[in-house]
Structure 1
Amino acid sequence: MIKEMTEKSFFFGPTEISALRRFVPEHLKGCTTFEVLISSLWRCRTIALQPSPEKDMRLMFFVNSRGKFNPPISVGYYGNCVVLPCVVSKAEDLCNKPLGYALQLVMKAKASVTEEYVRSTMDLMVVKGRPHYKTDSTYIVTNLTRGGLNKANFGWGEAIYAGPPNDDRDIPGLFSMYLPSTMLEFLCSIRM
């Protein structure tokens, strides 16, 4: 299944985000654009892959944990300070329940990232190492809208587009990037 995937880029401007938000239930209206977008993409990707209804489908996304510590990480610290909470759902539920189902799972996972969660994740990685993902059921998304890629200038002007690298031998077909774009508001590159 992984070898049959193809990469596509989708541009999401205010009109597209507004259309997605119409499916958000009232009690979840405080969700971020990123949360509603990745919830929608996770559902759509799962539907497209047509997994067994009982298969556990996973969504992982990077969460900045710099502000989770007390005292906070020092200003000027340069290094990774992220964790990847994992959301799990049976494929049948993800495909058949409304968007609010997936969105609520994403928001709950994001809210669960506390100092204790980050420290526990660090301890686990020291003890167990860095485990490989189940590539047939995992979807990983990173939000790079504030990463400064749209301001990078390599001598020929500011960037108008960026995308994922083609070298994905370690985790083929399961990684997407949410990037700023001058063409429209945001770009999400996804492999389906």
Structure 2
Amino acid sequence: MSSGSSVQVKSAALIPPSDPTQTHILKLSAIDSQLFLRFTIEYLLIYRLNGEEKEDIIGRVKAALGRALVPYYPLAGRVRARPDGSCLEVVCRGQGAVFIEANADFTVSDFEKAPSYVTEWRQLLALQVTDVVAGAPPLVVQLTWLPDGVAVGVGFSHCICDGVGSVEFLNLFAKLAAGGTGTGYTTATSRQVVSASTNFKPKPVWQRHILDPTPFNKQETKSQHLEFNRVTDLCKFMTRFTPDQLTPTSVTFHEWQINELKNSIISTSQLKPNSVTTFEAVSAHIWKTWAKALNFPPSQTLKLLFSIDIRNRVKPSLPTGYYGNAIVLGCAQTTARELTEKPLSYAAKLITEAKNRVDDNYVKEVVNSVSLNGASCVPDQVGVLILSQWSKLGLERVDFGMGRPVQVGPVCTDRYCILLPVHDHNRSLKVMLAVPSLAVDNYLDLITAVQ
């Protein structure tokens, strides 16, 4: 099936906040402004139709978007670089988010497996924002009618919010569209529904100045920030990851398989039972499998990068409702030989250590470093596998009044590895990753061979 012929856009419109909002310019934090975050977080949520008229669904979803943009009005603004080049800022004039309606001949079951190629589902979020600081809208929503369901594609500028923040907005947006089921929500009148945005918990908090550079007591030895270190390319690494050479994969790990991985780690380490997290076990297995399948030179340095939420790792903790980028990159690093030849517990230990390095001091070092060095503080791509944990965000609970989504995933499955929730199986995980086509069969054999 060709994505170019399978999706037809019916209409596109700008949806401004439904009530007047402040007109001003808001400064983004140093973490928000990093070069490697200047892309769009793109979610794809698949729902089954419930018999409701399409016009009614469209009407309430569009209205809810306008209402949700009142408390989250920066998402209706436009991002630009500050005149002094120090960081980014948002010009807030109620410009609006983009809402697109489309039709497609995909079916719900098409999303149970990986797409055939990286961009097969690209048109399910047809407005692709490639430069978020060139005046593009930071929020795009597309509702695409399928023969037996509906696909909701949502794109957020990563400069304005991280995964946690984006899903907090989605929860408000969805509850308003559904007419509300929680505190402060009611279907009685539109006025009462509008009031939902003021009663929604958590209330959105801007306060990006909290993550501005601050003086702090530097330790005698600085923390390791391996994510920014350059490594030698021994294998023309990036040429292996052009989109046309990648094949998307989708593998589900059920609870028993995850427990097998944990037991394997515990049996070859000094760790106590129940001390290995699902993230550590699964990400270690993915990283090791990926390295084996791609057959890197033994001395090639490899890194696993993953986001670490710092909301409760800084002192004081960030306020509830802070929806900016409250993340730093965890980095596990080793050589291809060590990663592939040593037990799985070795990779898990590196991941645990990377998580444990991130404390208040570590975060302050990152903030100061990206503030001072800006463009030069960009993670090197050579030898890198980037893993993003969407399974803990709550995407599987986002209900626009059509029930919970039956599939959750990225719009494009590429060289970023994404951990996803599985419908009706809260202890399972789906792993989506595009692998160089020449290695995909080997990867799939290895990733499913849980021992």
Between 179-188 and 80-89, the greater mean CA deviation after superposition: 179-188
1:68-147 to 2 correspondences below 5 Å: 68-130=313-375, 131-147=377-393
1:6-25 to 2 correspondences below 5 Å: 6-25=247-266
If the length of structure 1 is used for normalisation, what is the TM-score? Answer: 0.89
**1:33 aligned to which of 275, 278, 293:** 278
Q: Gapped runs of 5+ residues in structure 2? A: 1-239, 436-451
The yes-or-no answer on 1:151 pairing with 2:392 is no
SS in 2 for 1:141: strand
CA contact (8 A) 1:87 1:106 kept: yes
**Partners of 1:134 and 1:82 in 2: CA distance:** 18
Between 116-125 and 130-139, the greater mean CA deviation after superposition: 130-139
Q: Gapped runs of 5+ residues in structure 1? A: none
**Partners of 1:16 and 1:150 in 2: CA distance:** 21
Structure showing greater radius of gyration is 2
Between 74-83 and 61-70, the greater mean CA deviation after superposition: 74-83
Q: Which residue of 2 aligns with 1:188?
A: 431
Q: Give the drift of 1:18.
A: 1.6
If the length of structure 2 is used for normalisation, what is the TM-score? Answer: 0.40
- Give the partner amino acid of 2:270: H
**Partners of 1:137 and 1:164 in 2: CA distance:** 23
Q: Give the drift of 1:155.
A: 4.7
Q: What CA deviation, in whole Å up to 9, does each residue of 1:4-27 have, x standing for no partner?
A: 332111111111112212211352
Q: Give the drift of 1:123.
A: 1.4
SS in 2 for 1:190: strand
- Give the partner amino acid of 1:59: L
- Give the partner amino acid of 1:190: L
Q: Give the drift of 1:42.
A: 0.3
Q: Give the drift of 1:134.
A: 3.7
Q: Which residue of 1 aligns with 2:303?
A: 58
SS in 2 for 1:145: coil
Between 69-78 and 50-59, the greater mean CA deviation after superposition: 69-78
Q: What CA deviation, in whole Å up to 9, does each residue of 1:73-120 have, x standing for no partner?
A: 112222221111111110010011110110110001101110111111
The change in CA–CA distance for 1:133 and 1:75 in structure 2 (over 3 A counts) is: closer
**Partners of 2:262 and 2:423 in 1: CA distance:** 22
1:38-49 to 2 correspondences below 5 Å: 38-49=283-294
Between 129-138 and 88-97, the greater mean CA deviation after superposition: 129-138
> Quick one: percent identity of the two aligned structures?
27
CA contact (8 A) 1:2 1:136 kept: no
Q: Which residue of 1 aligns with 2:60?
A: none
Considering only aligned residues, what root-mean-square deviation do their CA atoms show, in Å? Answer: 1.8
**Partners of 1:86 and 1:11 in 2: CA distance:** 24
CA contact (8 A) 1:8 1:190 kept: yes
Q: What CA deviation, in whole Å up to 9, does each residue of 1:113-170 have, x standing for no partner?
A: 101111111111112225444434111111122212101124533112122232x8xx
CA contact (8 A) 2:308 2:328 kept: yes
**Partners of 1:155 and 1:137 in 2: CA distance:** 43
